[in-house]
Amino acid sequence: MNWNAKFATGIGTIDAQHRRLFEICGELQDLAEKAKTEDRYEQIRLVLKDLTDYTVAHFGLEEKYMQESGYSERDYAYHKMEHDAFVAKVSKILDGDWEDNQHQTVSKLLVFVTAWIKAHILDTDMKYVATLKAKGYK
């Protein structure tokens, strides 16, 4: 999963954090390949924890910016609901029993995570950009 300009919001902090999410997904992708032939359970678990922790922090910042900027309450609630559902799904997988099926579990998770992050940035996140920029966020 590679970052490119179509994912840029033009808000520096948000873009830097989105880039980091792409990097974490890349780490997970590398481990998924290695898990085909090697036990990478502990490393995968640590990267998944990093993904969960990082998304919680990132989502918190986005939500703070939306609230500070006067973003629509309805749109904020929907956006937050998406964030919460993502964290819950990744956390459920992290807490599950998948040690014996690492490659398959991580491969399925990667499909979900990469599709979700891309769609979320390109659709849901782009909706708040105009509001934030109008309030001086850069």
The domain spans of the chain are 10-134
If pLDDT is split at 50, 70 and 90, which confidence band does 99 have? low
pLDDT, mean of residues 100-125: 89
Longest dimension (CA), the chain: 51
Helix (H) or strand (E) holding 51: helix 41-69
The pTM assigned to this predicted structure is 0.91
What's the mean pLDDT when you consider all of the chain? 92
Whose structure tokens read 């990082």? 54
If pLDDT is split at 50, 70 and 90, which confidence band does 50 have? very high
Instruction: Give the whole-angstrom CA distance, residue 138 versus residue 11.
Output: 4
Q: Which residue has the higher pLDDT, 116 or 42?
A: 116
Phi-psi region of 124 (alpha: psi -120 to 50; beta: other; left: phi over 0): alpha
pLDDT tens, position by position, 3-24: 999 999 999 999 999 999 999 9
Q: Which CATH architecture has domain 10-134?
A: Up-down Bundle (1.20)
